[in-house]
Amino acid sequence: MKATVYSGRNSVEAQEVPDPKILNSRDAIVKITSTAICGSDLHLYDGYVPMVKKGDVFGHEFMGEVTDVGADVENLKPGDRVVVPFPIACGACNACQSQLYSLCENSNPNAGRAEKLWGHSIAGVFGYSHILGGYPGGQAEAARVPFADVGPLKLETDLPDEEVLFLSDVLPTGYMGAEMCDIQPGDIVAVWGAGPVGLFAAASAKMLGAERVIVIDRFEYRLRKALSGAGATDVIDYEAQPDVVEELKEITAGRGPDACIDAVGLEAHHAHGMVHAYDRVKQATRMETERPHALREAILACRNGGVVSVVGVYGGFLDKFPMGAVINRGLTIRAGQCHVHKYMRPLLERIEKGEIDPSFIVSHRMGLDEVSEGYETFKHKQDECVKVVLKP
Amino acid sequence: MESGAPVDRLSRFLSAFSLAFGTAQLAAPNVVNRLAGIRDDPTSRLWQRLVGVREVVAFAAIEAEQPRPRRALWMRVAGDAKDLTLLALAWRGRRASTPRLAGAIASVAGIAALDAHAAARAGRAPENERTEEEPMHVKAAITVRKPREEVYRFWRDLENLPSFMNHVESIEGNGNGRSHWKVKAPAGTHVEWDAEVVEDRPGEALVWRAVEGSGVQNAGAVRFVDAPRDQGTEVHVEFDYGAPGGRLGEAVAKLFGEEPTQQAKDDLRRFKQVLETGFVVRSEGSPEGSTARRHLKQRPGQPVEDGGPGEQEPKPSIERAPSVESAPSAEEGDQS
């Protein structure tokens, strides 16, 4: 079959690889009808995630049709249409039983390596480095889905792929980012990043009752999308208005946003060339693994006693972290890879009720053969790119 | 097991000295030349830089070998001897200021004496340290979300052990409470021994040891404790393990990614997987499941070919790893 294969830093190719096979009795094989490139795939592509190997198949946002199931999968049968959550979760361990699916204790065969970097391991993830298990991803014609009796959401609806595909990652991730803010009526929420996760975080903050939602980015076309599609009430283009913390004080009459969501992660940009260069150089020389501009700003901007919610991905270690602000101003930091399994069904219901149509983020549709172009277009934000959907 | 020993202050000083001096030689060889009374030219600067690299390596070697950096310190002594030779050549060639050169030679000789003293001291093992023949003590623990009785019963059944103990090739009950173990060792070899259970407290603990005269040192215990709240059972394993070939054997095994503590942790991780999910979890990058060796050398994360590693090394016991309900009971005769 054809799949998106990593062939070195800044390079992926559609290549022929073996067809997936059942390895465990709780596996299913899914023939993929739609899959997307995630912003976090760009961290792999750019070489910032440890333990990515040439030959790895990328992709953790995918859906399709079940073609084969292992002996112990009773809830699915060939022909079923499913969306697959990006974390692989066994459903039986203490983390899964507490609905902390992205922290599954059993699904990462390379947990020993993750423990060395992070102290403890997390769940395995499709197509997301060997530190998260070495599982092939879903930017391919087909994929093996472990624990198919726990993860995949069976679709009984005839909603088109593009309205349900994002249940696999970016919609629940954005939603969890907003949920972690404990939004109260009258709250003002600021969101860093108007990529797919940021847009869904903004839309979710609105759904959860925020009075005002402010989105921060440097691309005019993405900020327009935040206003038109995600229901943002205000936007800040930080290249035009570099002092974001001041701008937010202005909008909130000095209080700061009640909650701040970081939907950017480890490859942030900064309006001031010197500040950007400082972290860029440290990152390039591997003296830190992150460029945490958005996170630093979110902490400094947040209201005293407020919540900073982090759903942007970080890999290892960052510096110049304003811990003094966190402790002295009583901030709460909440973070996590999304526990997608927990959110898929309720969010599907919201889609069915018309409360949100996630397809507004789609800007590009391509075949698997064009995947190299897809990564480049997405990485360099060419052609007003927000989300690339691949049709294998 | 050595990390508890206090670090020797003299060796700490020598490693700091190596780093400082090496950095100076690398960054400013001309200044070091001047201070040592050596004529400053491209050749002498190159020598300074080479020695500088060696000093930095010595620093790293001492720190890596703490708290008893015997080998690294003897390496420094050898380096000092070479430095003295170089300085003697400089003396003979009259390439420098004589009083400063004499001072440099005296300094190096002094440092050499310190190095030799520290190395000799590091060579004497403190009393509480493990000797060559003593086995190493390994500890590992994990929490399994299953009732304590069930977890105990699964472990108690000999037939289940190879499903999660990767190195155990086979275990045969001898019918008299003893069992015969055959375990993989590095480079395709095997180790075999007879073991006996010396204590069996159902639902609580199992204690075993290798039968005397079986040529292998292996004794250990596994304890089962209720985890707080409804989190299942804590499994605590401790054992003493004498690697074939003593300390050298241990070092060789580590080279192959077979560090006993890591192995024990991997075994427990697979034990948890088998009990909680029904099998050892495998990915295409790690088709055999969690193993220390596989952590070092991963397959690419793409589907396995027919006849790929996942199939070449089948562990039949994985495929039929019983769910706990169907596990044979503990009452059968031939258990270890």
> How far does CA A229 lie from the centroid of its chain?
18
d(CA A3, CA A392): 9
**B267 neighbourhood in chain A, CB within 8 Å:** none
Beta bridge partners of A182: none
pLDDT in tens, A84-98: 999 999 999 999 999
pLDDT in tens, A22-62: 999 999 999 999 999 999 999 999 998 989 999 999 999 99
Query: Of A317, A335, A353, which closes a domain?
Result: A335
| pLDDT surpasses 90 at B215 | no
Which residue has better confidence, A280 or A5? A5
d(CA B168, CA B197): 17
The stretch A156-181 carries a mean pLDDT of 97
B244 secondary structure, DSSP code: T
**B277 neighbourhood in chain A, CB within 8 Å:** 26, 90, 92, 106, 147
| pLDDT surpasses 60 at B4 | no
B289 within 8 A of B281, measured Cβ to Cβ: yes
B160 secondary structure, DSSP code: G
What is the maximum alpha-carbon separation in chain A?
A: 61
Q: Same domain for A279 and A299?
A: yes
Q: What is the pTM of this model?
A: 0.79
Please name the member of A26, A56, A110 whose beta carbon is closest to the beta carbon of B302.
Answer: A56
The stretch B133-146 carries a mean pLDDT of 89
DSSP H or E run through A251: helix A244-251
CB contact under 8 A, A133 and B283: yes
Task: Classify A82 as helix, strand or coil.
Answer: strand
Q: Same domain for A161 and A24?
A: yes
Q: Same domain for A111 and A191?
A: no
Q: Same domain for A233 and A297?
A: yes
d(CA A38, CA B208): 52
CB contact under 8 A, A133 and B295: no
A133 within 8 A of B286, measured Cβ to Cβ: yes
Q: Which domain holds residue A150?
A: 2-169+339-391
Is the confidence metric ipTM above 0.90 for this complex? yes
The stretch A145-160 carries a mean pLDDT of 97
pLDDT of residue A314: 93
Q: Same domain for A97 and A82?
A: yes
Q: Same domain for A121 and A210?
A: no
CATH of the domain at A138: 3.90.180.10
Helix axes A244-251, A293-301, angle to 10 degrees: 30
Number of domains in chain A: 2
| pLDDT surpasses 50 at B311 | no
A372 secondary structure, DSSP code: H
Shortest alpha-carbon distance between residue A51 and chain B (Å): 9
d(CA B140, CA B150): 20
Beta bridge partners of A192: A216, A262
Rg (CA), chain B: 28
Which residue has better confidence, A309 or B333? A309
Please name the member of A5, A93, A135 whose beta carbon is closest to the beta carbon of B284.
Answer: A135
Q: Same domain for A227 and A303?
A: yes
**B301 neighbourhood in chain A, CB within 8 Å:** 53, 55-57, 127, 130, 134-137
Please name the member of A54, A109, A113 whose beta carbon is closest to the beta carbon of B281.
Answer: A109
pLDDT in tens, A198-228: 999 999 999 999 999 999 999 999 999 999 9
**Least trusted range by pLDDT, from A44-53, A290-299, B308-317:** B308-317
Helix axes A196-207, A170-179, angle to 10 degrees: 50
What would the 3-class secondary structure string for B83-104 be?
Answer: HHHHHHHHHHCCCECHHHHHHH
Q: Same domain for A212 and A105?
A: no
Q: Which residue of A has its CA nearest to B287?
A: A23
* Helix segments in A8-118, DSSP class H: 39-45, 94-97, 111-118
Please name the member of A57, A90, A107 whose beta carbon is closest to the beta carbon of B301.
Answer: A57
CB contact under 8 A, A133 and B285: yes
Query: Kind of pairing, strands B218-226 and B205-210?
Result: antiparallel
CATH of the domain at A264: 3.40.50.720
Q: How confident is the model at residue B246 (pLDDT cuts 50, 70, 90)?
A: low
Q: Same domain for A146 and A9?
A: yes
pLDDT of residue B322: 40
pLDDT of residue B84: 85
Shortest alpha-carbon distance between residue A326 and chain B (Å): 32
Mean pLDDT of chain B: 79
A262 within 8 A of A308, measured Cβ to Cβ: yes
Please name the member of A19, A134, A147 whose beta carbon is closest to the beta carbon of B285.
Answer: A134
d(CA B179, CA B201): 18
CB contact under 8 A, B285 and A110: yes
CB contact under 8 A, A92 and B283: no
Helix axes B29-36, B9-27, angle to 10 degrees: 110
The stretch A286-308 carries a mean pLDDT of 93
- Match 């900064």 to its residue by tokens: A270
**B231 neighbourhood in chain A, CB within 8 Å:** 94
For the purposes of burial, counting CB atoms within 10 Å of the CB of B83, is it exposed (0-12), middle (13-18) or buried (19 or more)? buried
Q: Same domain for A235 and A135?
A: no
| pLDDT surpasses 70 at B185 | yes
Q: How confident is the model at residue B128 (pLDDT cuts 50, 70, 90)?
A: low
Q: Give the Å distances, CA to CA, from B43 to A335, B84, B185.
A: 57, 17, 51
Residue type, B219: A
Six token digits for residue A155? 């679709």
Q: Give the Å distances, CA to CA, from B285 to A26, A133, B275, B313.
A: 18, 7, 23, 14
Touching check for A277 and chain B: CB below 8 Å? no
d(CA A245, CA A297): 7
Which residue has better confidence, A71 or A274? A71
> Which of B268, B294, B302 to probe by mutation at the A interface, max A CB count within 10 Å?
B302
d(CA A355, CA A163): 12
Which residue has better confidence, B324 or A354? A354
Q: How confident is the model at residue B5 (pLDDT cuts 50, 70, 90)?
A: low
Q: Give the residue among A334, A5, A296, A391 at the shortest CA–CA distance from A176.
A: A334
Q: Same domain for A293 and A153?
A: no
Please name the member of B265, B278, B298 whose beta carbon is closest to the beta carbon of A134.
Answer: B298
| pLDDT surpasses 70 at A362 | yes
| pLDDT surpasses 50 at B313 | no
The stretch B199-215 carries a mean pLDDT of 90
DSSP H or E run through B205: strand B205-210
Q: Which residues contact A362 (CB under 8 A, 6 or more apart)?
A: A162, A386, A387, A389
CB contact under 8 A, A53 and B283: no
Q: Same domain for A303 and A370?
A: no
**Least trusted range by pLDDT, from A77-81, B112-116, B266-270, B317-321:** B317-321
Q: Which of residues 351-390 of A touch B (CB under 8 A)?
A: none
Shortest alpha-carbon distance between residue B29 and chain A (Å): 26
Strand order in the sheet with A188-192: A234-237, A212-217, A188-192, A259-262, A307-310, A332-335
What is the CB neighbour count within 10 angstroms for residue B332? 12
Shortest alpha-carbon distance between residue A136 and chain B (Å): 5
pLDDT above 90 as % of chain B: 27
d(CA B82, CA B214): 50
Which residue has better confidence, B228 or B79? B228
A276 within 8 A of A291, measured Cβ to Cβ: yes
**A20 neighbourhood in chain B, CB within 8 Å:** 303
Task: Classify A195 as helix, strand or coil.
Answer: coil
d(CA B267, CA A112): 11
| pLDDT surpasses 70 at A353 | yes
Q: Give the Å distances, CA to CA, from B71 to A330, B8, B68, B112, B115.
A: 51, 14, 9, 15, 11
